[in-house]
Structure 1
């Protein structure tokens, strides 16, 4: 690994909501959620450098200690937030703004268009910038940022133990009829 770092900014609520509402049509069971350790490993392997995972989560009253401990065990830094408004979005936006002044690469794990201005500012040619999520639910404003690499959480990252019930456009070079038989 090189001395440069990839910062993996995880909007866990956005991923969980998209998985539940748009992919499964119900609240995900624990075994259906992404394997976050696989995502962190993917970031390191994909860009061949150390990755620092920052997992942003909104906390109502009490800290979800079992989840926080699991994140710590996987190598993430949990960022529990509390306050008015979209605290996770605000914190990720501020973090992305602060990263503009670091020689570091950034992968955003979210579908949210609220982050498009920060991703555009980061994609200045001095760093690698990526977005990770379900390709078919990615905000068009995120996909439109020039120079940003896109990674599908299921197909590129392989963050799930089993196939999800998704309908997606399949590039013909990836088409496997056995998946439909």
Structure 2
């Protein structure tokens, strides 16, 4: 049985949530419940999930957050480097490239188009490859990968990773439309 690797670009998710959805820094209770995301991967793909949570620790290690991630079953990946380099992106790209040599499934949590070149080789028909993001903010380059087998999951609606409804404008598939939500 293969493993499903869950690669989390926490900075990207936090920035999108704060800047694009809430318009301010998210409060702790407004952030994703990361344990639900690991469970979602296991339940959706039926494999054991290994979560790697990439952190920019150039200005120090947020120990309480790292300990919480460990308690939830994640492996924190604390990184440091020059301020002008996107060290989290570099590490995730290298991890995606390394996973191309393995047969494991891969689910990326990010909106960032910087990962397109590293995701494409994974779409070789031998594994499942997915992207978890807020649908309206994911890089449009990922849409072109659907015909090659890329799977998309909305971070809020599909994974149910939030305790409350976010103030998002979402296109509703007719089979999901509930008029009671608007009355």
Q: TM-score, normalised by structure 2?
A: 0.96
Give, in whole Å, the separation in 2 of the partners of 1:91 and 1:50: 22
**What is the aligned partner in structure 1 of residue 34 from structure 2?**
36
d(CA) in 2 for partners of 1:68, 1:15: 17
How far off its partner does 1:143 sit?
2.1
Shift of residue 124 of structure 1? Answer: 0.9
What residue number does 1:12 align with?
Answer: 10
Q: Does 1:175 align with 2:173?
A: no
Q: Write the mapping of 1:11-160 to structure 2, written as runs, cut at 5 A.
A: 11-84=9-82, 85-145=85-145, 146-160=148-162
Q: Give the count of matched residue pairs.
A: 179
Structure 2, unaligned runs of 5 or more: none
Distance (whole Å) between structure 2 residues aligned to residue 168 and residue 26 of structure 1: 20
List, as ranges, runs of 4+ consecutive aligned residues in structure 1 with deviation greater than 4 Å: none
- Shift in Å, 1:119: 1.1
* TM-score in terms of structure 1 length: 0.97
Deviations 1:107-135 (A, max 9, x none): 00000000011111111111100000100
SS at match of 2:40: helix
Q: Secondary structure at the match of 2:108?
A: strand
